[in-house]
Amino acid sequence: MTKTVVEVVTFKLNPGVSDADYVAATQKTESFIGNMRGFIDRRLSKGEDGTWMDYVIWADLAAAQEASAKFPQADCTADIMRMIDQSSLVMRHETQMWTMAPAPAMG
């Protein structure tokens, strides 16, 4: 059985890049990422220490690796690549082991 893969990318932004500008640049990648084979879900968050996390769920490792290889070369990602402090960037691919279902609506 093929297990889904979680791509976790952590990074900091370059000095002078605003949160709003980074989020707007990331939103421009929706169509590119959303149409990649095996895409399931994507979340973006920022910690109190200024570290961002881009969290993407893929159907399998091959899909995650294919997207990772194509991402830096895509036209829609050029702004993102310039905004990220490349020395802080860490990417991991992990096997998703469990998913908690949402609780039923109360009411």
- Residues contacting 63, CB < 8 A, separation 6+: 5, 36, 37, 38, 39
- Threshold 0.85, pTM exceeds: yes
* Helix/strand/coil for 83: helix
pLDDT cut 90: percent of the chain above it: 89
Helix %, strand %, coil % of the chain (to 5): 35, 35, 35
Please name the helix (run of DSSP H) or strand (run of DSSP E) that holds residue 65, with its range, or none: helix 61-70
Length of the chain: 107
pLDDT cut 70: percent of the chain above it: 97
Structural domain 5-95, CATH architecture: 2-Layer Sandwich (3.30)
CB 71 within 8 A of CB 63: no
The residue ranges of every structural domain in the chain are 5-95
Question: Which pLDDT band, with edges at 50, 70 and 90, does 103 fall under?
Answer: confident
CB atoms within 10 A of CB 59: 16
**Geometric angle at alpha carbon 97, from 56 and 39, rounded to 5°:** 25
Residue pLDDT, tens place only, 48-96 = 999 999 999 999 999 999 999 999 999 999 999 999 999 999 999 999 9
